[in-house]
């Protein structure tokens, strides 16, 4: 049969529910519903759980209407209409699942595949590819195309992070619309016309805006792939864990895709209040540090650091010595290694207090730590051990851009202020380090910071310290110079809460097991605090957060469950 | 070129005069009288009603009633209105607008001024295809002449009505003859048709209410203003097929050219009397495209038809752009269809899936058929694939390719099948006698 | 960046921008003006006109590559555009093409070594009454046959 089917005769429809002044009532596949005026048929269908298949439509971008996959039948209109661009109207009768629509979808699928390369075995998109999904759901299951396909460049680098395969592209133009409407960088254009139309950049102007990775997310097929993820893992092995990016104070919602206890990629998680559908490129790739930096896997104690003023750092050999596992005592059971190191740390700090006075102790704690970590930092370092001077280094770079990127590169500066440790403050840190250089600070606890690597603490000044206790996840220059280095969880290895720059409290999740003998910062500090008389039971991050909530008014009433996946905007934050 | 004794040309009344095209010759023939009277005696609403009453239907291809189209403009005047003249004439077999533009531009210009007055537009854009170099120069000169004599610019003929006309050249894209693609091109972009609704009368050029009219349509507006709607409505085949019509005849005829007749001239009279009949005495008529390449083909047996909008629809085709292409029996229909399929593949804008992919597919199937590499399933495949394109595209380009595929294959099915069974062209016209290098090199 | 066009063209583009309710419309006439001056539109010219009009270079590349009249490479001094569509094909355009290919010694889409002629096939030029026709630069030549083609080539220095 070649003539297009005639539209079905109007049939008896269920009674429509009443619609308010700004609403319309319609039926979709016999289901009555009410939607706001301006809602499209595609969006309305979503509301009653009906997926209208589509490629070019994206809720974060303008409507293009070019893929034609969302064609549906609307009574009284002779031609099928695209659901993405047709506004729902009062009394409209929509059919998305009849013979005519099914035949049309088959046709569109066939057209999309006639010039598409059979790349599935080597294509990253396999497993999350709309061509695969829709062919299985709506396609004929075979193609009648038996000609030479249109060929195009298959491995074209569009920019630092994005690779382009011209043959896989279905010209939906999502990537172009993203660059025009969201990043507003306009690097992409559509060149030529007809079946030789192709996406491209201008010579010398690659796709290098700070959000280029989002084009890979929104590409419905494998035409755009992320260079850092290409061929790394099949997506059906990946498990997505919802979390929040720790790259800056925005706290974009993300999914960490894990496999074999490794994070393979980060992708945006929709949050209308924070990042909508997008994340920036540095944030997207921030998990790479976990693999690239040398890990602090076990507690380390510098030889000779038993509490007395021991030999100081010297280049080479000493650090090799310090790299060996802790204590000469029998066995290397982790519990022993931990307790030995914690004992050593406590002894060192106590020693400094006794010899030089408690006011010569100071601490630097990071705004990259979670609310739980910082709560314990205050309780242990400040209240229990009695360190009066606790400062939070600032990490600022560039400017806030008009989209997501914040100048403040710490994810929990607000949280640090709210639990009483103080917001990031370069001035207070400078004071401490100046006193240190002048010999008035003799014991320093550094949690999650690297003042030596950041150029704030010199070798000479370090020699003024009788005690340098470092808690960190990697072997930073500061950790290498420490008397005691205690391994903590890196990003993605521990539960916690960050508060972003707008006062939104959001959960970061443990997606992978901590490396080596690493522990969450809050647990390490609690154990240290025990050695100074801290009592109290801290069985889990969740229970600890409950305690934060009950003792800090701004967090009152909150819990991990209450925060959920989208987080909660704190009042008076 | 202006044909038989019996018919007194209206649209082509000036083209054979020496100095035709200049404003002096135009004025001497009574030109701009209609404008003068209209500006003095009519309101825009009245002129719109006149055009409605005349029964004038668009001459670009769709045949939509012109007055009704004008009345779709919103009543509010918060945004400026624009008139765009569609001089992108690119439908294969069509060359009537070019004739008017080159040889009687003032006839068209007067219609532009009248239409702008009726729709209350202060700015008209004359979008002319880039390849009409001579036409663009001559029309620009006509605009300058008219401005110098007070028919354009501020306070035209003391009426208080202002109008500027800008000539805008296209750059080679058939799709820019589609109304919304024309607007995109005029805005300085790729000529990609827009999603409709909204229609141009509501959201058009620069987002403002816009009317797009064909060149010949506007020339007819001049006639209506000169002699009134009642007179106009008596011409042709009233009530729904009124007025004079320019017909383009090309292909296998002795005198290819533009012929004016009252709407509804019999096709065979057009071919035999006006265009001199078939080119070669030893050949017979095989097929005729009645209205530009996008229209369904008529085999010789169906050519006993009147050339007006409704008669051709009843005959299973359309008047379209009135581009009549005559083919005698030396023509291989597979070759002819391949030639057109390549045209549509080259001209597809590429925006939407069925057209972008389908047009290329048709060329590949037809190339194999013409080459003698056809497969048994190809004939039905062409028909089925065409049915998957028709109705599913952003713009009528989908129908423009689907209708020829469907009608040629169905009307000349035996010939298509013979290409398969005989592994080559049975006509022996020589494979690819109608083909371009770009097709053979596919 | 030095302007790749003459001052007159640069001024013309400024005038074009002011002539339209929205300056974006000036892009097509600006590209025509650039091609008129230089014979084609280079990458450099695209970047220049993008800056003038206020659009992205990739956008301009998209426009230039969409329209068949815009050349991205130089063409011959006499750019022969032969119509290939059905009404001309019915009147022997393919034979004219073969004749031109033989006479010029180049294929369709190519330019003679001395830069005198280039040959392309174009779609319907709307001049079917004198089929088969070609355009050479901006002039039409119709009712072509082998003899007329030879005479035309001879006359084009």
What CATH number is given to the structural domain containing A428?
3.40.50.740
Q: Are strands A81-82 and A93-95 parallel, antiparallel or unpaired?
A: unpaired
Residue A567 has, within 13 A of its CA and on its CB side, a CA count of: 31
CB contact residues (below 8 A), chain C span 41-70, against chain A: 43, 46-47, 55-62, 65-66
Measure in Å the smallest separation between the Cα of C154 and chain B Cα atoms: 23
List the single range of A273-277, A531-535, B131-135, B422-426 with lowest mean pLDDT.
Answer: B422-426
Measure in Å the smallest separation between the Cα of B270 and chain A Cα atoms: 32
| Mean pLDDT over the full length of chain B | 95
The rounded Cα C25 to chain-centroid distance in angstroms is 20
Neighbours of B80 (CB within 10 A): 15
> Does residue A382 fall inside a structural domain?
yes
Same-domain pairing of C119 and C87: yes
Same-domain pairing of C49 and C83: no
Same-domain pairing of A387 and A518: yes
Identify the three-state secondary structure at position B283: coil
> Does residue B194 fall inside a structural domain?
yes
Measure in Å the smallest separation between the Cα of B230 and chain C Cα atoms: 33
**CA C123 to each of CA A126, B52, C68, C83: distance values in angstroms, whole numbers, following the listed order:** 41, 36, 10, 5
Q: Do B353 and A108 touch (CB under 8 A)?
A: yes
> Does residue B9 fall inside a structural domain?
no
Would the pLDDT of A315 be above 60? no
Instruction: Report pLDDT for B7.
Output: 82
Mean of pLDDT values over A147-151: 97
**pLDDT confidence band for B434 (50 / 70 / 90):** confident
Task: Note down the domain range covering B138.
Answer: 23-233
Preceding amide of B197 cis, omega within 30 = yes
Identify the three-state secondary structure at position A539: coil
> Does residue A569 fall inside a structural domain?
no
Q: Do B131 and C62 touch (CB under 8 A)?
A: no
Q: Distance between CA atoms of A235 and B262, rounded to whole angstroms?
A: 68
Would the pLDDT of B251 be above 90? yes
Chosen domain end from C42, C66, C90: C66
Would the pLDDT of C40 be above 80? yes
Instruction: Report pLDDT for A39.
Output: 97
Q: Distance between CA atoms of B378 and B382, rounded to whole angstroms?
A: 6
Angle between helices C43-53 and C27-38 (to 10 degrees): 150
**pLDDT confidence band for A572 (50 / 70 / 90):** confident
Identify the three-state secondary structure at position B111: helix
Instruction: Report pLDDT for B20.
Output: 93
Chosen domain end from B297, B328, B359: B328
Identify the chains in contact with A, defined as 3+ C-beta pairs within 8 A.
B, C
Same-domain pairing of B225 and B295: no
Instruction: Report pLDDT for A190.
Output: 98
Residue A503 has, within 13 A of its CA and on its CB side, a CA count of: 8
Same-domain pairing of B323 and B281: yes
Handedness of CA A346, A351, A352, A356 (dihedral sign): positive
Instruction: Report pLDDT for A484.
Output: 97
Same-domain pairing of A68 and A129: no
Give me the total of CB pairs closer than 8 Å, taking one residue from chain A and one from chain B: 100
Token pair listed for C130: 């004198």
Residue that is written with structure tokens 């040629």 in the block = B408
CA-based nearest residue to A287, from A473, A25, A457: A473
Same-domain pairing of C89 and C34: no
Instruction: Report pLDDT for B327.
Output: 97
Query: Is the separation of the CB atoms in A356 and A442 below 8 Å?
Result: yes
Say which residues have a Cβ less than 8 Å from residue B260's Cβ, sequence separation at least 6: B2, B3, B7, B9, B10, B11, B12, B244, B245, B246, B247
Chosen domain end from A66, A97, A128: A97
Q: Distance between CA atoms of A529 and A539, rounded to whole angstroms?
A: 15
- C130 in reach of chain B (CB within 8 A): yes
Same-domain pairing of A382 and A520: yes
Chosen domain end from C16, C41, C66: C66
- Note every long-range contact of A227-234, with CB atoms under 8 Å and residues 24 or more positions apart, other chains counting: A227/A157, A227/A160, A227/A161, A227/A162, A227/A163, A228/A161, A228/A265, A228/A285, A228/A288, A229/A124, A229/A264, A229/A265, A230/A124, A230/A163, A231/A124, A232/A264, A232/A265, A233/A257, A233/A259, A233/A264, A233/A265, A234/A126, A234/A127
Would the pLDDT of C156 be above 90? yes
Same-domain pairing of A385 and A456: yes
**pLDDT confidence band for B427 (50 / 70 / 90):** confident
Same-domain pairing of A343 and A440: yes
Identify the chains in contact with B, defined as 3+ C-beta pairs within 8 A.
A, C
> Does residue B147 fall inside a structural domain?
yes
> Does residue A363 fall inside a structural domain?
yes
Probe site for chain B from C65, C128, C143 (most B CB atoms < 10 A): C128
Global pTM? Answer: 0.94
Same-domain pairing of C86 and C19: no
Minimum CA–CA partner of A64 in chain B: B195
Same-domain pairing of C151 and C90: yes
Same-domain pairing of A72 and A122: no
Same-domain pairing of B182 and B308: no
Mean of pLDDT values over B155-160: 96
Chosen domain end from A235, A267, A292: A292
Would the pLDDT of B3 be above 50? no
> Does residue C71 fall inside a structural domain?
no
The continuous run of DSSP H or E covering C130 comes out as none
Same-domain pairing of B337 and B322: no
Neighbours of B179 (CB within 10 A): 23
Q: Do C86 and B340 touch (CB under 8 A)?
A: yes
Minimum CA–CA partner of B275 in chain C: C129
The count of domains in chain A is 3
Probe site for chain A from B351, B375, B391 (most A CB atoms < 10 A): B351
Q: For residue B90, which residues of chain C lie inside 8 Å, CB to CB?
A: 123-124, 126
- C147 in reach of chain A (CB within 8 A): no
CA-based nearest residue to A254, from A218, A287, A292: A287
The continuous run of DSSP H or E covering B437 comes out as helix B437-440
Instruction: Report pLDDT for A536.
Output: 84
Residues above pLDDT 90, as percent of chain A: 90
Task: Note down the domain range covering A32.
Answer: 23-97
Same-domain pairing of A431 and A467: yes
Residues above pLDDT 70, as percent of chain A: 92
CATH number, domain containing residue C52? 1.10.10
> Does residue A467 fall inside a structural domain?
yes
Q: Distance between CA atoms of C85 and C129, rounded to whole angstroms?
A: 13
Token pair listed for B132: 């009409």
- B130 in reach of chain C (CB within 8 A): yes
CATH number, domain containing residue C87? 3.40.30.10
Same-domain pairing of A207 and A234: yes
Identify the three-state secondary structure at position B400: helix
Q: Distance between CA atoms of C45 and C6, rounded to whole angstroms?
A: 11
Same-domain pairing of B261 and B219: no
Would the pLDDT of B432 be above 80? no
Q: Do B171 and C31 touch (CB under 8 A)?
A: yes
> Does residue B5 fall inside a structural domain?
no
Would the pLDDT of A306 be above 70? no
Chosen domain end from B233, B260, B287: B233
Minimum CA–CA partner of B353 in chain A: A67
Would the pLDDT of A10 be above 70? no
Probe site for chain A from C46, C48, C53, C62 (most A CB atoms < 10 A): C62
Q: What is the ipTM of this complex?
A: 0.97
> Does residue C52 fall inside a structural domain?
yes
Say which residues have a Cβ less than 8 Å from residue B348's Cβ, sequence separation at least 6: A193, A194, A195, B175, B355, B356, B359, B360, B397, B401
Same-domain pairing of C89 and C147: yes
> Does residue A565 fall inside a structural domain?
no
| Mean pLDDT over the full length of chain C | 96
Handedness of CA A529, A530, A534, A539 (dihedral sign): positive
Same-domain pairing of A356 and A223: no
The count of domains in chain B is 3
**CA B313 to each of CA A227, B306, B319, C8: distance values in angstroms, whole numbers, following the listed order:** 56, 10, 8, 53
Q: Distance between CA atoms of C11 and C7, rounded to whole angstroms?
A: 6
Same-domain pairing of B262 and B411: no
Would the pLDDT of A322 be above 50? no
Would the pLDDT of A89 be above 60? yes
CATH number, domain containing residue A44? 3.10.20.740
Would the pLDDT of A318 be above 70? no
Task: Note down the domain range covering C150.
Answer: 78-155
Same-domain pairing of B170 and B300: no
Would the pLDDT of C26 be above 70? yes
Chosen domain end from B192, B217, B233: B233
> Does residue C21 fall inside a structural domain?
yes
Would the pLDDT of A54 be above 60? yes
Same-domain pairing of B138 and B202: yes
Measure in Å the smallest separation between the Cα of A404 and chain C Cα atoms: 23
The rounded Cα A446 to chain-centroid distance in angstroms is 26
Same-domain pairing of B59 and B187: yes
Instruction: Report pLDDT for A326.
Output: 40
Would the pLDDT of A225 be above 80? yes
Neighbours of B150 (CB within 10 A): 13
Mean of pLDDT values over A371-380: 98
| Mean pLDDT over the full length of chain A | 92
> Does residue B269 fall inside a structural domain?
yes
Same-domain pairing of A199 and A229: yes
Would the pLDDT of B286 be above 90? yes
The continuous run of DSSP H or E covering B35 comes out as helix B33-41
Chain B residues bordering chain A (beta-carbon distance below 8 Å): 173, 190, 195, 345-354, 356-361, 364-365, 368, 375, 377, 381, 383-394, 406
pLDDT in tens, B193-228: 999 999 999 999 999 999 999 999 999 999 999 999
CB contact residues (below 8 A), chain A span 179-198, against chain C: 186-193
Q: For residue A201, which residues of chain C lie inside 8 Å, CB to CB?
A: 58
The count of domains in chain C is 2
Chosen domain end from A236, A268, A292: A292
3-state secondary structure C52-98: HHCCCHHHHHHHHHHCCCCCCCCCCCEEEEEECCHHHHHCCHHHHHH
């Amino acid at each position: 049969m070649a003539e297009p089917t005639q539209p079905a005769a109007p049939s008896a429809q269920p009674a429509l529910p009443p619609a308010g002044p700004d609403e319309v009532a319609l039926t979709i596949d016999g289901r009555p519903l009410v939607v706001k005026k301006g809602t499209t048929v595609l969006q309305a269908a979503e509301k009653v759980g009906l997926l209208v298949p589509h490629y070019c439509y994206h809720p974060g971008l303008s409507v293009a209407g070019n893929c034609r996959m969302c064609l549906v039948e609307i009574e009284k209109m002779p031609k099928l209409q695209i659901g993405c661009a047709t506004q729902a109207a009062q009394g409209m009768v929509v059919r998305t699942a009849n013979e005519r629509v099914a035949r049309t979808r088959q046709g569109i699928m066939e057209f999309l595949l006639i010039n598409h390369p059979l790349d599935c075995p080597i294509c990253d998109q396999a497993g999350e590819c709309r061509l695969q999904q829709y062919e299985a759901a709506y396609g004929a299951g075979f193609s009648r195309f038996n000609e030479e396909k249109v060929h195009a460049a298959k491995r074209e680098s569009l920019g630092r992070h994005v690779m382009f395969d011209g043959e896989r592209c279905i010209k939906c133009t999502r990537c172009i619309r993203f660059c025009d409407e969201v990043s507003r960088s306009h690097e992409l254009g559509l060149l030529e016309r007809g079946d030789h139309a192709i996406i491209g950049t201008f010579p010398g102007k690659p796709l290098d805006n700070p959000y280029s990775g989002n084009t890979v997310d929104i590409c419905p097929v494998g035409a755009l792939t992320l260079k850092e993820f290409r061929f790394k893992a099949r997506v059906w092995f990946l498990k997505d864990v919802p979390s929040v990016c720790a790259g800056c104070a925005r706290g974009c919602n993300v999914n960490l895709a894990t496999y074999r206890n490794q994070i393979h990629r980060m992708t945006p998680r929709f949050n209308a209040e924070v990042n909508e559908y997008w994340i920036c490129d540095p944030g997207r790739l921030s998990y790479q540090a976990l693999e690239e930096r040398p890990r602090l896997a076990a507690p380390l104690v510098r030889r000779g650091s038993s509490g007395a003023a021991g030999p100081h750092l010297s280049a080479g050999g000493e650090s090799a010595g310090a790299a060996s596992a802790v204590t000469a005592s029998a066995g290397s059971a982790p519990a022993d290694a931990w307790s030995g190191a914690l004992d050593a740390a406590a002894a060192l700090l106590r020693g400094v207090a006794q010899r030089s006075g408690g006011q010569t102790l100071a601490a630097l704690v990071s705004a990259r730590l979670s609310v739980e970590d910082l709560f314990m930092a205050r309780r242990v370092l400040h209240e229990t051990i009695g360190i009066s001077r606790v400062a939070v280094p600032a990490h600022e770079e560039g400017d806030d851009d008009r989209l997501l990127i914040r100048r403040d590169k710490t994810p929990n500066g607000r949280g640090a202020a709210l639990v009483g440790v103080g917001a990031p403050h370069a001035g207070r840190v400078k004071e401490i380090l100046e006193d240190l250089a002048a010999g008035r600070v003799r014991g320093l606890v550094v949690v999650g910071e690297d003042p030596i690597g950041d150029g704030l603490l010199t070798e000479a000044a370090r020699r003024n310290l009788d005690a340098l206790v470092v808690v960190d996840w990697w072997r930073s220059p500061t950790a290498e110079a420490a008397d005691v280095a205690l391994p903590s969880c890196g990003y993605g290895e521990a539960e916690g809460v960050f508060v972003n720059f707008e006062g939104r409290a959001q959960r970061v999740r443990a997606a992978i097991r901590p490396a080596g003998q690493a522990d969450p910062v809050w647990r390490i500090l609690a154990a240290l605090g025990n050695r100074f008389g801290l009592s109290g039971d801290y069985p889990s991050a969740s229970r600890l957060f409950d305690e934060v909530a009950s003792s800090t008014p701004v967090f009152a009433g909150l819990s991990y469950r209450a925060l959920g996946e989208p987080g909660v905007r704190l009042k008076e934050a | 070129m202006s044909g038989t004794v019996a018919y007194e040309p209206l649209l082509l009344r000036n083209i054979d005069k020496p100095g035709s095209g200049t404003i002096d010759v135009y004025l001497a023939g009574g030109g701009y009288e209609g404008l003068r009277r209209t500006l003095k005696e009519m309101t825009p609403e009245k002129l719109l009603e006149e055009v409605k009453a005349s029964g004038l239907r668009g001459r670009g291809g769709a045949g939509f009633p012109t007055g009704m189209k004008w009345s779709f403009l919103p009543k509010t005047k918060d945004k400026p209105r624009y008139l765009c003249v569609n001089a992108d004439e690119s439908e294969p077999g069509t060359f009537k607008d070019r004739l008017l533009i080159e040889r009687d531009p003032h006839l068209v210009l007067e219609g532009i001024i009248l239409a702008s007055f009726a729709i209350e537009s202060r700015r008209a854009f004359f979008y002319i295809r880039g390849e009409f170099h001579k036409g663009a120069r001559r029309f620009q000169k006509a605009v300058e002449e008219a401005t110098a004599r007070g028919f354009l610019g501020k306070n035209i003929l003391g009426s208080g009505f202002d109008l500027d006309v800008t000539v805008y050249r296209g750059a080679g894209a058939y799709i820019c003859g589609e109304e919304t693609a024309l607007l995109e091109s005029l805005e300085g972009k790729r000529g990609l048709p827009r999603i409709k609704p909204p229609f141009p009368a509501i959201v058009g050029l620069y987002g403002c209410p816009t009317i797009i009219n064909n060149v010949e349509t506007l020339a007819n507006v001049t006639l209506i203003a000169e002699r009134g709607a009642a007179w106009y409505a008596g011409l042709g085949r009233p009530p729904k097929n009124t007025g004079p019509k320019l017909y383009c005849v090309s292909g296998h005829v002795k005198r290819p050219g533009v012929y004016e007749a009252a709407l509804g001239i019999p096709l065979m009279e057009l071919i035999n009397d006006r265009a001199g009949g078939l080119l070669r005495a030893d050949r017979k008529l095989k097929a005729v495209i009645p209205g530009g390449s996008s229209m369904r083909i008529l085999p010789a047996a169906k050519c006993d038809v009147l050339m007006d909008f409704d008669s051709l629809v009843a005959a299973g085709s359309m008047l379209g752009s009135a581009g009549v292409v005559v083919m005698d029996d030396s023509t291989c229909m597979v070759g002819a269809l391949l030639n057109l399929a390549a045209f549509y593949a080259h001209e597809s804008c590429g925006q939407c899936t069925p057209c972008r992919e389908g047009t290329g597919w048709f060329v590949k199937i037809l190339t194999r058929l013409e080459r003698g590499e056809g497969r048994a399933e190809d004939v039905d495949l062409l028909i089925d694939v065409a049915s998957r394109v028709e109705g599913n595209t952003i713009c009528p380009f989908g129908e423009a390719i689907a209708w020829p595929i469907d009608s040629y294959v169905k009307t000349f099915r035996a010939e298509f099948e013979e290409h398969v069974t005989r592994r080559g062209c049975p006509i022996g016209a020589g494979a690819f006698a109608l083909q371009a290098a770009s097709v053979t090199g596919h | 960046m030095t302007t790749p066009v003459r001052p007159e063209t640069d001024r013309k583009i400024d005038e074009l921008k002011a002539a339209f309710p929205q300056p974006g419309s000036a892009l097509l006439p600006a590209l025509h003006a650039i091609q008129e001056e230089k014979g084609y539109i280079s990458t450099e010219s695209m970047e220049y006109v993008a800056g003038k009009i206020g659009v992205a270079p990739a956008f301009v590349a998209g426009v230039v590559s969409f329209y068949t009249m815009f050349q991205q490479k130089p063409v011959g001094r006499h750019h022969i555009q032969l119509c290939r569509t059905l009404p001309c094909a019915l009147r022997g355009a393919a034979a004219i093409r073969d004749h031109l290919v033989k006479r010029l010694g180049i294929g369709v889409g190519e330019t003679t070594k001395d830069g005198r002629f280039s040959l392309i096939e174009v779609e319907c030029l709307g001049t079917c009454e004198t089929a088969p026709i070609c355009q050479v630069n901006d002039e039409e030549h119709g009712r072509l046959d082998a003899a007329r083609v030879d005479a035309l080539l001879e006359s084009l220095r």
